[in-house]
Structure 1
């Protein structure tokens, strides 16, 4: 009776010349190929089925592995299969991990220079290019340049930027963002930048942040549910859907917190919004419809405000603006006019932090810091507008809102 495994012999392996597969049993085969008539080449392969798929895995040339060694390699792979592991996928994962380990062992300076080499061609602003290079050279390379990328974490970045954090917080914040972007780029496998076509995103027209007091002063003069909803949205840096779906059980007027449930959040997580005194005042003055839960009732009985109501109001006041654009105004104001760390404004906008380095800064919800931020934002929005200020011109910018 034929043997189930170990069917081949060393002599048979040496003698095989016809192209084809010669089975040794146990899914192991000797593969003989003749490419372009150059003579036979021989290698080992393992054939198997997993999840309904037929797969073939190369085990190396007979010049590198003897018959006995090929059988041992096949035995080890069959053990993985018995454990439900696809050996091809496991091999690929190991290679990917090795490549990532090699990449992350590159020094931060080398990685940053490679990042700039790959991305600078797509940056049209020469000043932006120069700032990237000069700020990294001045503030990051001295302490981080010789470190491997995988070692660049929150404590190291903090230490590098500590000397300028109080003196020039805006510069420090930008340098930190640039360092983190380089680190994440390496972790992501050093991807090439997207093509111009792939970069096309929706544009949300937005006022320059310096002009928001004038806009809000005009908005406060309007007496309608949509006007109060828009003012609420701007002061909370909220999305349209979050506002029009707001219900009274979500609002804690005494605690001055609005808890938006995960079902209405883009990130799929509950989001607590600190409420400024002006927002609480808006809420207390709103009429309540008996038996209806919505904070901002619509035209139909027991229904919320239309999702177009605020947009139509904005377009009537400043043609071309969008409700979503006010989130950009808030972000620009926080970045350019305050000393709050980037993560605080990002948390206020309920943006998801995918970067582990950035995420390391965030502990909990940063609710206390966000309370101060939203209070300052409300105070800024309530400033008397500058007499004679031109509030008609619109600055349009692309905003990727995660």
Structure 2
């Protein structure tokens, strides 16, 4: 016991010291509005990087899945993006419907598609795709050096989505959007092993499409996205 007190585990230390280890995320409406304004008004960022940030915000995937997106996985006609299981943290394929906003971003990016690259966001000066740190750095310095340091992160936009959905639960339920639909969009793994062994999906593609369009509209109502 004395040894454990003297040398606590990292999780025990953060719990005892009330340290919040979660990644910074925008959850206040005014801060979200401020960020959207800074993003759409920015004229220094490479446009491909800027579109990647928009897609990260709108599709709430894990940052790696955003920067490594492949055109072969995106069906612009049917408005569907399917990420293969081997590229997902959960090791299960993930299908996400594209809102009108996300679709417009991808169609715009497609106009500048590099023929020999399979990636939606190819690296600027090398083979491969945009690095996840590139969008992290761009977010941090949006509107000024380190302006959003400790305030917003690329992964944190998943928390932005989750928080907004939680606060809007009554409205979403009226639209037929359940907690399972929200979790499905976030591609969270079912913790109950028995349930996980039988449940193949938490929500229909129609439910997820309704949620993603609602979310895009919600952000656009805070401040026009400029898309």
Where is the strand percentage greater, Structure 1 or Structure 2? 1
RMSD: 2.7
Hey, what's the Cα distance between the residues in 2 that align with 1:234 and 1:319? 17
- Tell whether the 8 Å contact from 1:228 to 1:282 is kept in structure 2 after alignment: yes
SS at structure 1 position matched to 2:81: strand
Establish whether residue 341 from structure 1 lines up as the match of residue 178 from structure 2.
Answer: yes
Greater RCO (CA < 8 Å, at least 6 residues apart): 2
Unaligned runs of 5+ in 1: 1-193, 387-402
* Equivalent of residue 243 in structure 1, options 66, 86, 95: 66
CA displacement at 1:214 relative to structure 2: 3.6
- Tell whether the 8 Å contact from 1:291 to 1:302 is kept in structure 2 after alignment: no
Name which of structure 1's ranges 218-227 and 319-328 shifts more when overlaid on structure 2: 218-227
Q: Deviations over 1:10-62 (max 9, x none)?
A: xxxxxxxxxxxxxxxxxxxxxxxxxxxxxxxxxxxxxxxxxxxxxxxxxxxxx
1:375 aligned residue:
213
SS at structure 1 position matched to 2:159: helix
Q: Deviations over 1:240-282 (max 9, x none)?
A: 1101111100000011111111121100011001100111111
CA displacement at 1:228 relative to structure 2: 0.7
Alignment of 1:142-181 (within 5 A): none
Distance 1:201 1:288, change over 3 A: same
Hey, what's the Cα distance between the residues in 1 that align with 2:196 and 2:181? 11
Name which of structure 1's ranges 277-286 and 195-204 shifts more when overlaid on structure 2: 195-204
The structure whose Rg is larger is 1
Unaligned runs of 5+ in 2: 1-9, 143-147
1:325 aligned residue:
156
SS at structure 2 position matched to 1:383: helix
CA displacement at 1:356 relative to structure 2: 6.1
1:265 aligned residue:
88
* Equivalent of residue 218 in structure 1, options 1, 13, 38: 38
Hey, what's the Cα distance between the residues in 1 that align with 2:23 and 2:222? 26
1:132 aligned residue:
none
CA displacement at 1:314 relative to structure 2: 1.0
SS at structure 2 position matched to 1:300: coil
Alignment of 1:63-82 (within 5 A): none
* Equivalent of residue 133 in structure 2, options 308, 317, 321: 308
- Tell whether the 8 Å contact from 2:14 to 2:21 is kept in structure 1 after alignment: no
Hey, what's the Cα distance between the residues in 2 that align with 1:341 and 1:360? 21
SS at structure 1 position matched to 2:13: coil
1:203 aligned residue:
22
- Tell whether the 8 Å contact from 1:276 to 1:378 is kept in structure 2 after alignment: yes
Aligned residue pair count: 193
- TM-score, length of structure 1 as denominator length: 0.44
Name which of structure 1's ranges 216-225 and 235-244 shifts more when overlaid on structure 2: 216-225
2:145 aligned residue:
none
Distance 1:299 1:363, change over 3 A: closer
CA displacement at 1:229 relative to structure 2: 0.2
CA displacement at 1:368 relative to structure 2: 1.4
Hey, what's the Cα distance between the residues in 2 that align with 1:358 and 1:332? 25
